[in-house]
Structure 1
Amino acid sequence: MNITPPDAFLQLIDHLERDEEPPAPLKSWYLSGLKAYRSGTARTLDEALGLAVGPGQAREKPCYVWRTRQRDQLIKEAAGHLLKHVGKTKAAGIIADSMADAVPNVKDHQATIALIKLRNVCIDGGGDPALAIGWRRALEIINGDGFR
């Protein structure tokens, strides 16, 4: 397979959510992981599927990859609404503030919804804005630069 285990895992979930048959390479990857776990050659299912990460590799976990993609998508969605009323730099600042502090009042209702969703994606279980980024990185994402 030419994709990383986290990408394969997320694709499998997407196929199952849409009630679609996963492609053969995806099924083969999943089946071989399940067999490795069943036989005991892997101690955990994460390890068997190639999803286990070591210290300092949290960014490679499927949950982090998924949340980062959701964050970037919501940044672009919010920016699409905000750019009708403000410039790119101001929009990036509003977006960054929404992730780190609180969602400000904005004129566009759809922008407010996107900012609330964005804030929810960025907040971890402890209430910390773990995925929050600064306005410069938000501006890069708005401009389409450095998209993961």
Structure 2
Amino acid sequence: MLESRPFDPAKWHFDWNQTNSGYVQAFRDLIHLRTDSDGPTGGLSSNQYYTLHENHDAKVLAYSRSDQIVVVLNFGNVHYKSYWLPFPIHGHWQLLFSGDNKKYDPQFKNRYSDVVETNAYKAWKIAGEINLAPYSGVIYVFDQNSWAKDDSIYK
């Protein structure tokens, strides 16, 4: 809209067929996760969060919502095929969302780990290895059936 022309809602038309439907689907999927409409992500609405990992050089940030959800963001242009980071609980973690999924854009490359099994790694008692695409993010949910009650980084 230009300052010289007033906005006329009668003439304004937005053609949803002209949008990039993949990006619309990505936002739709993230909204579903945030609102927990499919059930497994109550942690995304929690007020509790813990920063698990900050790597300023790699431009990677990971945080946990409650103990059940881990969000990992790559703000850099580097693809990490094997990136280790701490997880809050030892066990099996399942991918819920990847910003590098081809269903969102055919140019994306599906560079993500569907499942993460945690182990001890270097100084971390509980850590997982993930595949992390550039300029992307992944969200994992903890599999309740794999939980060892004595294992938590918050003890």
TM-score (norm 1): 0.31
Question: Structure with the greater relative contact order (CA < 8 A, sep ≥ 6): 1 or 2?
Answer: 2
Q: Which structure shows the higher helix fraction?
A: 1
With structure 2 as the length reference, what TM-score do the two structures score? 0.30
